[in-house]
Structure 1
Amino acid sequence: MEAGTCDNAAAGAPFVEKSSGHGDSSGGSDEEKRTMQRAAAAGVVECGSRMKRLFGFEREDLSSWHRLVCLLNRPADPASLGIFRFLFGMVMAIDITQERGLSHLDYKYLDGAPVCRFPLLNFLQPLPLDYMYLVYVVMFFGAIGIMLGCFYRLACLMFISTYWYVFFLDKTTWNNHSYLYGLIGFQLTIMDANRYWSIDGLRSPKKRNAQVPLWNYTLLRSQVCIFIVYFIAGIKKLDADWVEGYSMSYLAHHWLFDPFRMILPNEMVSLLVVHGGGLCLDLSAGYLLFFDATRPYGIFFVSYFHCMNSQLFNIGMFSYTMLATSPLFCYPDWPRRFFAHFPCFLRPVTVFV
């Protein structure tokens, strides 16, 4: 019995201890699980917060089509879009008189002047000269209407309809930035860019400062500023002639590169600055502009790049148009914060704000 008792006790002791230990372990395991769950939840929140700080949205916003649509329709401040609309309209009004040819229209559409038509668009013919002046006047007033935000939709239609007509009349005048102007004009037509700094906003209190969907900014930032202009231009520069420094070696002799020639020979200026710098900037500019931490550097290098291009090449208003797109990557309310620093006696200047 004692032995049995002892055996039972001995057998029971480990059992009780094991049971107790198992209970403690189970309790500890449950506690550990709860702790791990809380840590995981905190990690998800931290990760989500970090992602939102970097990209402006949470990972869950991309988890389904419905969430993505909700994200793209999230209300955003119209201020930055309104400033871009104003600048784009102003630049286009200047471009119409210069690169579009309003100042020399009689020479551009002389009877019998050789032309090269676009494929499948051979049926397009220029109107008589008097009517071509009318077409350009409509396009010019459309650009002015976009700039002022006055009868905005009508102004956009006036601009893009006449712009694309003139664009498709002559293939020899085609270039990338001319195509870009028409594309931006079309995009502005479907956007609500007249909610800030616009005459339409003064005429209609419902439109003034009304928020716009986030996709208005997303479309311009991604399609125009990253892929079409910068990133694709960088990919095109990956050919052997550009990478090895032969495409534009003559640019190294321009006075703009005098500071670089103080420390580098012409050959290295051409290879490293002209070709290497242009390649790296085009491939990285969109991403530098996208993130808060790198945006100041991106704006600096992009602005320097376009200011140089305005002096190096005869490309009309393209450099200034691209300078106008850079602030689109900043927070949408940056104009309000900027104008808030104006002294009181200058506040009437910001009557549209």
Structure 2
Amino acid sequence: MLNKWLFQRVDNSSLIVFRIIFGLLITAEAWGAIFTGWIRRTLIEPQFTFNFIGFDFLQPLPGNGMYIYYGIMGFFGLLVTIGYKYKWSISGYTLMWTCVYLMQKSSYNNHYYLLIIILVFMMLVPASTYASVDAKLNPKLRKISMPRWVVLFIIFQLWIVYTYASVAKFYPDWLSGEVPAMLMKSKKDYWLVGEILQQKWTHYVILYFGILFDLLIVPLLLYRKTRFPMFCIAIFFHLFNSFVFRIGIFPYLSLAFCLFFFSPELVHRRFLYKKEYYSDGEVVVPEHRNLLIGIFCVWFPFQILMPLRHWAIKGDVLWTEEGHRMSWRMMLRSKSGTATYKIVNKTTGEINYVRKSDYLSRKQTRQASTKPDVIWQFSQRLKEEYAKKGEDVEIYVNAYVRVNHKEKQQLIDPKVNMAEAQWNYFFHNDWILLHEDED
């Protein structure tokens, strides 16, 4: 039964069309970062980047090296599109994108993590067996079918992402309309729709639409009678996000995922009508069956449990940020605040205060004023800077932070020497102050 469920052959038109669209999108993502100035602002102008903790060895290439880096990534994307040296090109893009993801988090976006997941998926699947240079050069590679697990994998993964995105919105600031109003406030100058986006009724539409769309998109795309209406709604939803939030390729990638929900026959007729249609339904169990099932048994429990880890960590994740990343907690809060860094020379007792603008970009300054992990990392950087000058110092941070429209509260224990503080990945860091008892 399991073999039939996973390894029955189905027509591969959806995967082939998705590969072509996906290749174009990741090419646009890489080369677009060059032409929009994102690389300059994020990876070249700052003195250093705030990498994921533990990956300090990943720093931007010197000079204009990151332009070359992204140029090569875009070239890999083109090779994925045409299906040339596919395994090498998709692997190269995956490695390079993952390195950049871990290299900087000042411009963190859940969609960047999603792209890693889809890149890994595309490494595993036989996406270049048709309409590709590889299949043209080596006809033995040419196939018009694929195992059913390819479709099941992407559908289940998307269900996890969308469901967590919906459930995360069930908290007071979203349900009151405060967060949607806050998100729209900066859009008031938008042509034609700016004033509409400021209306209270608009905020409530966004509130409920955001919850219901994420919760129902996968089930309603799976059901034949609601598939097309839901697809039309998805077009509106993702184009709205593209226009209002300007989040790059991801609305279009999300629409491309819909290929896996429509019948292979429909995708075949619309896009690859010259290709033979596969309908035999043969069950072909691969030699690496057990390895593949083993990968699934690790991958999906990880994907399900990873977004839940903040529940095992003391404190509110909206405040502490512990367990926030890679948890599909999208557009849920705004943080603002101020932080002063006091440097005490342990030998002379001399006290100095850091001017953050001497070290950080504007975006990094905001992060180093509101996010505990970045505050800790900046403190370690400062410790290293002073150590190079032969000074042994203590560092104390006085940070006051506001989440959404709540009152500012102290974030970091001002009595803790942050130069000696440790970062704990799996449990609460006690130097992050909690105020739950005061509510």
TM-score norm. by structure 1 comes to 0.70
Q: Which structure has greater strand proportion? A: 2
| 1-structure distance, mates of 2:107, 2:244 | 19
| 2-structure distance, mates of 1:321, 1:122 | 31
Displacement after TM superposition at 1:121 (Å): 0.9
| 2-structure distance, mates of 1:91, 1:284 | 26
Contact 1:226/1:286 (8 A) holds in 2: yes
Residue in structure 1 matched with residue 77 of structure 2 by the alignment: 143
Residue in structure 2 matched with residue 115 of structure 1 by the alignment: 49
Residue in structure 2 matched with residue 226 of structure 1 by the alignment: 159
The one of 250, 253, 258 equivalent to 1:321 is 253
Indicate the structure whose relative CO is greater, using CA pairs within 8 Å and at least 6 residues apart: 1
Residue by residue over 1:27-69, the C-alpha shift from the partner in whole angstroms, topping out at 9 and shown as x without a partner, is: xxxxxxxxxxxxxxxxxxxxxxxxxxxxxxxxxxxxxxxx223
Residue in structure 1 matched with residue 409 of structure 2 by the alignment: none
The 1:131/1:175 distance shift into structure 2, 3 A limit, reads same
Displacement after TM superposition at 1:215 (Å): 0.8
Contact 1:148/1:197 (8 A) holds in 2: yes
- The reply to whether residue 284 of structure 1 matches residue 284 of structure 2 is no
Give, as a single letter, the amino acid of the residue that structure 1 aligns with 2:179.
S
Residue by residue over 1:262-310, the C-alpha shift from the partner in whole angstroms, topping out at 9 and shown as x without a partner, is: xxx9322321x11111111111011111111111111011111001001
Larger Rg: 1
- The reply to whether residue 334 of structure 1 matches residue 263 of structure 2 is no
Residue in structure 1 matched with residue 176 of structure 2 by the alignment: 244
Residue in structure 2 matched with residue 9 of structure 1 by the alignment: none
Residue in structure 1 matched with residue 99 of structure 2 by the alignment: 165
| 1-structure distance, mates of 2:69, 2:199 | 48
Structure 1 unmatched runs, 5+: 1-66, 342-346
The one of 237, 243, 246 equivalent to 1:305 is 237
TM-score norm. by structure 2 comes to 0.57
The one of 199, 205, 218 equivalent to 1:266 is 199
Contact 1:138/1:162 (8 A) holds in 2: no
Displacement after TM superposition at 1:131 (Å): 4.2
The 1:282/1:336 distance shift into structure 2, 3 A limit, reads same
Residue in structure 1 matched with residue 225 of structure 2 by the alignment: 293
| 1-structure distance, mates of 2:33, 2:55 | 22
The 1:305/1:268 distance shift into structure 2, 3 A limit, reads same
Identity of aligned residues (%): 26
**Which stretch of structure 1 is more off in the superposition, 119-128 or 142-151?**
119-128
| 2-structure distance, mates of 1:142, 1:210 | 24
Give, as a single letter, the amino acid of the residue that structure 1 aligns with 2:150.
N
| 2-structure distance, mates of 1:334, 1:312 | 32
Task: Name the SS of the counterpart of 2:126 in structure 1.
Answer: coil
Displacement after TM superposition at 1:151 (Å): 1.1
Contact 2:221/2:261 (8 A) holds in 1: yes
The one of 119, 129, 142 equivalent to 1:208 is 142
Contact 1:143/1:159 (8 A) holds in 2: yes
The 1:107/1:284 distance shift into structure 2, 3 A limit, reads closer
Residue by residue over 1:307-326, the C-alpha shift from the partner in whole angstroms, topping out at 9 and shown as x without a partner, is: 10011102111111111111
Query: In the TM superposition, what are the counterparts of 1:31-110 in structure 2 within 5 Å?
Result: 67-99=1-33, 105=39, 108-110=42-44
The one of 93, 114, 127 equivalent to 1:193 is 127
Residue in structure 2 matched with residue 60 of structure 1 by the alignment: none
Give, as a single letter, the amino acid of the residue that structure 1 aligns with 2:200.
E
The runs of at least 4 aligned residues of structure 1 exceeding 6 Å deviation read none
The 1:293/1:322 distance shift into structure 2, 3 A limit, reads same
The 1:114/1:73 distance shift into structure 2, 3 A limit, reads same
Contact 2:13/2:144 (8 A) holds in 1: no
| Residue correspondences, number | 272
Residue in structure 2 matched with residue 235 of structure 1 by the alignment: 167
Displacement after TM superposition at 1:138 (Å): 2.5
**Which stretch of structure 1 is more off in the superposition, 273-282 or 125-134?**
125-134
Contact 1:96/1:102 (8 A) holds in 2: no
Q: Which structure has greater helix proportion? A: 1
| 1-structure distance, mates of 2:272, 2:56 | 54
Give, as a single letter, the amino acid of the residue that structure 2 aligns with 1:268.
W
Residue by residue over 1:181-219, the C-alpha shift from the partner in whole angstroms, topping out at 9 and shown as x without a partner, is: 111111100100112322222222233233111111111
Task: Name the SS of the counterpart of 1:189 in structure 2.
Answer: helix
Contact 1:101/1:108 (8 A) holds in 2: no
Please tell me the root mean square deviation across aligned C-alpha atoms, in Å: 2.8
Task: Name the SS of the counterpart of 1:98 in structure 2.
Answer: helix
| 2-structure distance, mates of 1:103, 1:284 | 37
Contact 2:9/2:147 (8 A) holds in 1: yes
| 1-structure distance, mates of 2:111, 2:103 | 17
| 1-structure distance, mates of 2:253, 2:14 | 15
| 1-structure distance, mates of 2:44, 2:217 | 42
Displacement after TM superposition at 1:111 (Å): 6.9
